[in-house]
Amino acid sequence: MKKLINSPETVVQDELAGLAAAHPDLVRVDFTNQIVVRADAPVVGKVGLVSGGGSGHEPLHGGFVGRGMLDAACPGAVFTSPVPDQMLAATRAVNGGAGVLHIVKNYTGDVLNFEMAAELAQADNIQVASVTIDDDVAVKDSLYTAGRRGVGATVLAEKIAGAAAAAGTPLERVADLCRKVNTNARSMGMALTSCTVPAAGKPTFELGDDEMEIGIGIHGEPGRTRMKLAPAASIAEMLLSPILEDLPFRSGDTVLAFVNGMGGTPLIELYVMYNEFARILKGKGITISRNLVGSYITSLEMAGCSVTLLKLDDELTQLWDAPVHTPALRWRA
Amino acid sequence: MAADRVCILAWLRRSAEVLHEQRDYLTTLDAAIGDADHGINMDRGFTAVMDKLPSVAEADIGTILKTVGTTLVSTVGGASGPLYGTAFLRAGTALAGRQELQPADIVTGLEAALEGIKARGHAQVGEKTMVDALSPAVEALKVAVASGESLEEALYAAGAAAEAGMQATIPLVATKGRASYLGERSADHQDPGATSVTLLLRAALNGK
């Protein structure tokens, strides 16, 4: 294992210390509770937004704490859900009296821990709403699974719900908007390589030099199928087809296209992929009116990418365009 | 023969040792169908339990078990944190105030733990989870205790039933937890949660 770390045991704290040192104007880190909190939290009268999950997906979630997005993030150990204590501390820290929204990616661990935290916060008389993000079309049959995983749509939901909260929107409405993003977004990912959890010290799975895994999750969990590497154009087809069929997206739709790197893929390849996605969508009569290209929800050093499409209307577009200033996402602010 | 506080503390200590020894094994099982952290998380959780136990060493068994539960919820993370945490909290609640446990009390405690896990995880037998080891173990323990077997014999029967349940998870297709994302590809792998349940029950015999 070759990583820029001091030790597997301290990697998460060391990263959080770096985040705090780099962005003191935006965030503070509470090391006792292991949470990242917006520097000026709680903002009185504003709905607080809390998300969290295992570490290893940076910049998600800590990099999205700041103005116009999340108020707090709860990082767990690498690929391991945080614990209810962290979520409760975060909920208390950002409660400005207007209630707190928990944005939860649909993984059993995250869901169970956030469930326990919401029960504890309600016992504290803090109003909590929860939205579970489950946009990954790679998971086929939701009746016989833990349900679809929460992946790329999480970034979009945090931005859009964050903009709504910043505008003074009440809790239930912010939660509805967050659900609206989830309902209208679909994602699919692929991997060229595995990743190595620092504490495990070896790759989570083996993938041959000439192989790729389609439908990969963001924790190195295997995907739908493994096959021989193909040109970017065919990979783009394999990722987009199930997304387009699922919602479905139709000719005349306007979308936000989010092309995400898994952590070990350079921008040159992400733009190659963006070009292929744009070509396919144009052929289907679907207009990309907004896009995001870069590594925003990663899987350590895994090489690969995911694509998320979000069907846009005026409301979602305006919230997407609203000012945001966080360590990892910033515009008009 | 009854189990007193000393037995319970010895079991917990032995559990922590076994989970530490089997950390890589559990993580390897989890890497095949999950996210490669089960051994790491359980080891972290039980290490924290060991740090915490001296503060309740003189308390009743219910309090000890509840302390284990809250410590696991606070330190394990993943799905196993809330599931094992809930199991120990429920068992501790069922055995509140007890200074020693008769075999029938152990049945009560384990039944409460099983119900807690099923309620928190919405899982039933046959879904390739912890429940597949714990449920037959509770049944075997109940039968052994009812037929008047000694505590050691009853615990042995429970451990053996858990192990059989654990092995029976190998051909199963997961429908709960992260392994369920694999669908058919989750078959031919032993469930890590059922494995850690078995290790904990087996530790009860070694710890006596």
| Contact between chains at B27 and A221 (C-beta distance less than 8 A) | no
What are B104's two structure tokens?
């029938």
The residues on B that touch A, with CB distances below 8 Å, are 27, 31, 34-37, 40-41, 44, 73-83, 120-121, 173, 175-178, 180-183, 185
Complex ipTM value: 0.79
* Contact call for A145 and B76, based on CB within 8 A: no
State the smallest CA–CA distance between residue B48 and chain A in angstroms: 14
Contacts of A76 in chain B (CB under 8 A): 77-78
Residues of chain B with pLDDT under 70: 207-208
Contact check, Cβ <8 Å, A144/B180: yes
Chain A residues in contact with B35 by the CB 8 A cut-off are 54, 79-80, 204, 219-221
Structure tokens at A252: 């005349």
Task: Check CB contact under 8 Å for B35 and A78.
Answer: no
For strands A324-325 and A287-294, give the pairing: unpaired
Per-residue pLDDT of chain A (333 residues), as tens digits, is 999 999 999 999 999 999 999 999 999 999 999 999 999 999 999 999 999 999 999 999 999 999 999 999 999 999 999 999 999 999 999 999 999 999 999 999 999 999 999 988 988 899 999 999 999 999 875 566 788 999 999 999 999 999 999 999 999 999 999 999 999 999 999 999 999 999 989 998 889 999 999 999 898 777 788 999 999 999 999 999 999 999 999 999 999 999 999 999 999 999 999 999 999 999 999 999 999 999 999 999 999 999 999 999 999 999 999 999 999 999 999
The backbone torsions φ and ψ at residue A6, rounded to the nearest 5 degrees and listed phi first, read: -85, -45
Determine which of A1, A55, A79 to mutate to test the interface with B (most B C-beta atoms within 10 Å). A79
Residues B3-23 pLDDT 10s: 999 999 999 999 999 999 999
Contact list in A for residue B186 (CB cut-off 8 A) is: none
pLDDT at A274: 98
Asked if B80's CB is within 8 angstroms of A140's CB, the reply is no
Neighbours of A260 (CB within 10 A): 27
Contact yes or no for B31 and A204 at CB 8 A: yes
Task: Answer whether A253's CB lies under 8 Å from A311's CB.
Answer: yes
pLDDT at B208: 43
**Pick from B36, B74, B77: CB nearest A204:** B36
Which residues, 6+ apart, have CB-to-CB distance to A185 below 8 Å?
A135, A152, A153, A156, A157, A308, A309, A310, A311
Measured CA to CA, the distance from residue A140 to residue B177 in angstroms comes to: 15
Q: Does residue A148 sit in helix, strand or coil?
A: coil
Query: What CATH class has B3-206?
Result: mainly alpha
Residue from A13, A83, A86 to probe the interface with B (highest B Cβ count within 10 Å) = A83
Sorted by where each starts, the structural domains of chain A and their CATH numbers stand as 8-184+321-331 (3.40.50.10440), 185-312 (3.30.1180.20)
Residues of chain B with C-beta less than 8 angstroms from the C-beta of A115? 82
Q: Which of B130, B181, B188, B191 to mutate to test the interface with A (most CBs of A within 10 A)?
A: B181
Contact criterion met (CB < 8 Å) for A77 and B44: yes
Mutate to test the interface with A, among B24, B37, B38, B182 (most CBs of A within 10 A): B37
CB A176 within 8 A of CB A161: no
Interface A-B, measured as beta-carbon pairs within 8 A, has a size of 108
Give the start-to-end residue ranges of the domains of chain B. 3-206
Residue A318 CB neighbour total at 10 angstroms: 14
Q: How far apart are CA A212 and CA A224, in angstroms?
A: 11
Beta carbons of A149 and B80 less than 8 Å apart: no
Q: Enter the pTM of the model.
A: 0.88
A224/chain B closest Cα distance in angstroms: 7
Nearest-by-Cβ selection for A222 from B173, B176, B185: B185
Alpha helices in B76-191 (DSSP H): 80-94, 103-121, 131-146, 151-168
Q: What is the pLDDT of residue A145?
A: 76
**Catalytic residue set of A:** 57, 219
